[in-house]
Amino acid sequence: MHIIQVVTSLHDRYIATALKSPQTVSEIYHLSQAAALFNKKLNKPIKPSDRDALWSAAALLGFLAMTWINAATPEEAWPLTKSDPADLEWIRMSESKAAIWEVASPLRPDSMFHIMATDYISQQELALIKPTSGIEGIPPPFAHLYDLDESSNADNNPYFNVIHKLAPLLKIEPDRSNIVMYYSVVSHTGLPFKSLLEQKDPRALLVFAYWYAKLIHSVWWLDRRSLMEGQAICLYLERYHGDYTELQDMLVFPKRRFGLI
């Protein structure tokens, strides 16, 4: 119930202000209560009857982590702000859902979510397709900027997986029917790429600029972070890597999507 209270309040605030107003005291209270109760439940043996509720809570907490951003302007958003351990917490929260998925098994026959199994599995199968090497399907500018060639793989290039995930999404627009494929960009990046993100590596940031640029105006709960952090990435790269000509050329697309040019 605490989670539902937060989601409802967030949606009301989105309708009224597009989430430009700060979090309310009520939202903060209910989210802290929800997190505490969720952790308490995870520290006990999980009953079969609790599995659907557990997955619902995990999914909504992941949704809230993505939606919850304090920045009112790009200057207040990552990566322009001073580095903080909580900067990419929403990614870690999204990844942790995988463990809950294994425990809750929401596609099992007796689950309330089983009705979604066919559509979800088909999207997951597409999202999980992972080439082992090469550059098939990668636009030449990306292959060149990220040093990808026929010998490239996830072991010798930290950008390999995420570029292969991003490339097919550049040809389509996100909506509720294919959003799982967009989330796969984050969930299958790998530790080396996440480390680059934490270090504000310019090429890693460019990947996220493209990802946010595709997500903006897709579903309401993604809009605020996509806009604030997307604009912040573009400004950061322009400000601190303005002499990186090839990267700046590729930055034109996300800048245009974010209304910066």
Residue 66 lies in a domain: yes
Region of 18 on the Ramachandran plot (φ > 0 left; ψ -120 to 50 alpha; else beta): left
pLDDT per residue as tens digits for the range 140-170:
999 999 999 999 999 999 999 999 989 988 9
Residue 88 lies in a domain: yes
Residue 35 lies in a domain: no
Residue 36 lies in a domain: no
Give 205 or 224, the one with higher predicted confidence: 205
Residue 208 lies in a domain: yes
Which residues form the domain of 188?
Answer: 45-257
pLDDT per residue as tens digits for the range 182-213:
877 887 677 899 999 999 999 999 999 999 99
**Residue 5: Cβ-neighbour burial (10 angstroms; 0-12, 13-18, 19+):** middle
Residue 25 lies in a domain: no
* 0.85 exceeded by pTM: yes
Residue 162 lies in a domain: yes
Residue 123 pLDDT: 56
Residue 230 lies in a domain: yes
Stretch (H or E) spanning 6: helix 2-17
**Residue 170: Cβ-neighbour burial (10 angstroms; 0-12, 13-18, 19+):** middle
pLDDT bin (cut points 50, 70, 90) of residue 117 is low
Q: How many domains does the chain have?
A: 1
pLDDT bin (cut points 50, 70, 90) of residue 78 is very high
**Residue 23: Cβ-neighbour burial (10 angstroms; 0-12, 13-18, 19+):** middle
pLDDT per residue as tens digits for the range 23-36:
888 888 988 998 89
